[in-house]
Amino acid sequence: MCIIRKKIRHVSINHAVLRSFQKRALSGCLPEPSSFPSWSFEQRPFFRYELVHQSTKSMARVGRIITPHGIIETPSYVPVATNAALKGVDFRNLDANVDQHEGIDQYGQLVFSNTYHLILHPGREVIRDAGGIHKFTGRNQPFITDSGGFQVFSLAYGSVQAEREQHSELKRGHTVDKPYWSTSEDDNEDPVEVTEDGVMFRSYRDGSKIFISPEITVDAQKDFGADIIIPLDELPPHHISRSTLVDSVARSHRWEARSLRQHLKNVNGQAMYCVIHGGLDVELRKQSVEYLTSLPFDGFAIGGSLGKDRDELKNLLNWMMPMFEKDNRRNKPRHLLGIADEESIRHAVTRGIDTLDSCYPTKLGRHGTFMTSDGLLRIKQGKHKKSFGKKIDETCQCATCRNYDRAYLHHLFKAKEPLAVMLGTQHNLFYMQNMMKKIRKDILDNRI
């Protein structure tokens, strides 16, 4: 494997020359699949995907992901517990498998936590010394952790999540001809410095400089002990130039191959997913799929820029997901990163997506927007002030809807009572998991 370790310095040359230099310097050499040990291509005894039913109407499929800490029914929504905690909801409520009132599956078992935040606090050593994330949280159900790259690159170029879910402009106005990350130690304007070795960034807690590399993020996730882990990748915005995107995809491939090698030194009962990149570029996405699926990863995550709106996301999935139906790719789980609005979910599952994560549903709930069978309901609106005896959703059997009406919930949110956060989040989590249960039933019945 060729590793270019020389840092690219900021020099006074035109951007066309700089991009050409970057492309030559960072092209690197990707390791061949044959360079990985033969045993790494065999199915893990502790982790596997089982197909239950393939729809006759679409690529939608119902399956089960077997992990050391439980079975994940798919397709499923994965709640985001950034700091190994859901805001406003206890894991004991989250993991209640059956609602005693109606016998409805309440919440999904896989939870997503963020390596970036956990490295900053409480620190990987604390979680390691506690016995791993399961013992630290007291939750004996599956966890997935990311590499931290999403948060780090959001520091460099605004919120990519906002770009995906709110269709907003990115916060920082770089042009497409300039790198969106710093290439100089003397550049104090950008909070992120990218080299072939990894990424240097400043802690949002105290401003101290922190360096992460593919190997460091893997070792941190070994300390955490999550059931599924993600390698370090580079996350550019959707509107960069193609030459910059080419460089970014190549760097992500090299980082992911390094991450995989580090992972295989100590598998630790964990599965590792690769992250497919390429933006909206068909050729680059195809190259990413072809290369990364040839390596001994346990599953596939769809990442990188997924477009500026839902239509671009849908189009991307339409032409890309059939690539995962070839050969043994269909035997591994597929995860869509950072997407969980209902319209996108319903489209994604018909294209063969198994799991999806996002803080979108829980964030809505915390701020007084409830997901219902009739669309989004904004409880802070004045019309709900005297909605006595009226539930948020007449069809819902969550604890919030069973016990509280709109008038009281309106009061809680307007009064900024902490209880409001819990009740809103609880409802939206129930709604999401009940929706996914219905989707699985529709797939089993070949309705979608």
Q: Give the catalytic positions in this structure.
A: 146, 357
Quick one: 377 exposed, middle or buried, by C-beta within 10 A (0-12, 13-18, 19+)? middle
Q: Return the SS3 of 209.
A: strand
Q: Give the Cα separation of 311 and 265 in Å (integer).
A: 41
Residue 432 DSSP SS3: helix
* Residue 130 CB neighbour total at 10 angstroms: 15
Cβ–Cβ < 8 Å for 303, 277: yes
For 215-319, strand residue ranges (E) read 228-229, 271-276, 299-302
Dihedral sign of CA atoms 225, 228, 233, 239 in order:
negative
**Cβ contacts of 172 within 8 Å, gap of 6 or more:** 156, 157, 158, 180
Please give the Cα distance from 224 to 308 (Å, whole number).
Answer: 33
Residue located via tokens 């077997």: 66
Strand (E) positions, 170-296? 192-194, 199-202, 209-212, 228-229, 271-276
**In b/e form, how buried is each residue of 168-207, taking b as 16+ CB within 10 angstroms?**
eebeeebeeeebbbbbeeeeeebbbbbbbbbbbbeeeeee
Residue type, 44: R
User: Rounded to whole angstroms, how far apart are CA atoms 108 and 126?
Assistant: 27
CA quadruple 240, 242, 244, 248: dihedral sign? positive
Please answer whether residues 30 and 291 qualify as being in contact, where contact means their C-beta atoms are separated by less than 8 angstroms: yes
Q: Sheet holding 209-212: strands in order across? A: 192-194, 199-202, 209-212
CB 298 within 8 A of CB 272: yes
Structure-token pair, residue 1? 């494997």
